[in-house]
Amino acid sequence: MGRVEDVIEPVVGLAAGGGVVVLSGAGLSTESGIPDYRGPSGVARRQQPMTYQTFVGDGQARRRYWARSHLGWRLVARAAPNDGHRAVARLQRGGLVTGVITQNVDGLHTAAGSRDVVELHGRLDAVVCLACGDRTTRQELDGRLRRVNPDFAGRGAAVNPDGDVELDDAEVAAFRTVDCRACGGLLKPDVVFFGETVPAGRVRRCFALVQQARLLLVLGSSLTVLSGRRFVTAAARHGVPVVIVNQGVTRGDGHARLRVDAALGRWLPALADRLLTGEPAPRDPRPVPVAPGGTAGLVA
């Protein structure tokens, strides 16, 4: 057992010199109302996430995606950064965080004030034409979809991290899609679907940030997907310490110097206060269990 400060101080020792690169996942956005798939607030989904191959090759599947995403986008668009996002931005302004890589597509790091965020999987608020490459905002597309679907009143379940909701077949069948205004080509949200590769330049930028880091701080990711986990293995290969803060085990735990089981909206502001003001983390009378292998768990 331990105290809140006991699970902050070991990270302070690694982060105080700066050079921290953040790698964030869906768990950082749960306190903004966007559930993850695998954590304590995760949502179970009946259907697999859309793949790129299915999206471009199956018109009915594409209609289903846009109908679901049309509703889910409204929920994501209303989401606001939480204290965890704001703490990362504070640490960056304070010169301690030198790079932010996120697997999330919600844009909340930038909304919180972080700069030059590498959005590994793109952003849900942008749309691209697969034929001519024309780019538009999701807000513009939302207006077009509303106009051609004036009576669409689907009632979706909870939004998923990739910005869609579950709808039944009858609701999907009534939905109309639109094509690119410039050339009539297929429109796609500017996010990386399953089966699609992350742009090579984006990946190189992430590897460069990790190699130059003094600490890789993983926030709210189970590291199940290789596109994020590879940066943890790269950090370990280059001798860069890895700290993972996540509610639950991750596939990167074997490379971590320390793993903290924490609610990020509480833990990250306390870390930022400690690093930026020099004041000790506030004492908390609740016990903090420490699991075998040096894994610290913060009781939320």
Binding residues for Zn(2+): 129, 132, 180, 183
**Helix (H) or strand (E) run with residue 13 in it:** helix 4-15
Annotated binding site: 103-106, 129, 132, 180, 183, 220-222, 246-248, 264
* Of 62, 60, 63, 66, the residue nearest 51 (C-alpha): 62
Q: What is the DSSP string of 198-236?
A: PPHHHHHHHHHHHHH-SEEEEES----SHHHHHHHHHHH
- Residue 109 appears among annotated catalytic residues: no
Phi, psi (degrees; rounded to nearest 5) at 247: -85, 95
Count of CA atoms in the C-beta half-sphere (13 A) of 68: 23
Q: Which residues contact 216 (CB under 8 A, 6 or more apart)?
A: 20, 21, 23, 210, 231, 232, 235, 240, 241, 242, 243
Q: Which residue among 85, 109, 121, 255 is the active-site one?
A: 121
Amino acid at 79: A
- Which residues in 261-289 are b (16+ Cβ under 10 Å) and which e? bbbbbbbbbbbbbbbeeeeebeeeeeebe
Annotated binding site for NAD(+): 103-106, 220-222, 246-248, 264
User: Which residues are annotated as catalytic?
Assistant: 121
